[in-house]
Amino acid sequence: MELEELRSELDALNEEIVSLLAKRRSITKQVAQLKKRESLPVFDGNREKRQSEKVREVAKRHAIDPDVVEKLFEIYVAYCRQEMAKEMA
């Protein structure tokens, strides 16, 4: 493949990644509504720990550094948690 073809593939993957993040964010909005209705807290440490473990496992299966993937998810989950808190206020 030529450089421009590879870059085009990367651009398409970036679009897909951002689209999936948006879909995930949409689901967290629904979670916020349910948590608000049920008077549940925004933060669930056990859930986030399990998520982190699962993400690390997936990274390992795909031969990607689990520390890097975990850090990316930590950032995104923190953003989602912050947005969820705003929605539940």
pLDDT in tens, 38-55: 999 999 999 999 999 999
C-alpha Rg value of the chain to the nearest Å: 16
**Structure confidence at residue 31 (pLDDT):** 96
Q: Which fold has domain 3-88?
A: Chorismate Mutase Domain, subunit A (1.20.59)
Determine the average pLDDT of the residues in 64-70.
Answer: 98
**Structure confidence at residue 11 (pLDDT):** 98
Q: Where are the domains of the chain?
A: 3-88
Q: Which token pair is 18?
A: 């951002």
**Structure confidence at residue 16 (pLDDT):** 98
Name the band, by pLDDT with cuts 50, 70 and 90, for residue 82.
very high
**Structure confidence at residue 24 (pLDDT):** 97
**Residue 1 confidence (pLDDT) above 90:** no
**Residue 13 confidence (pLDDT) above 90:** yes
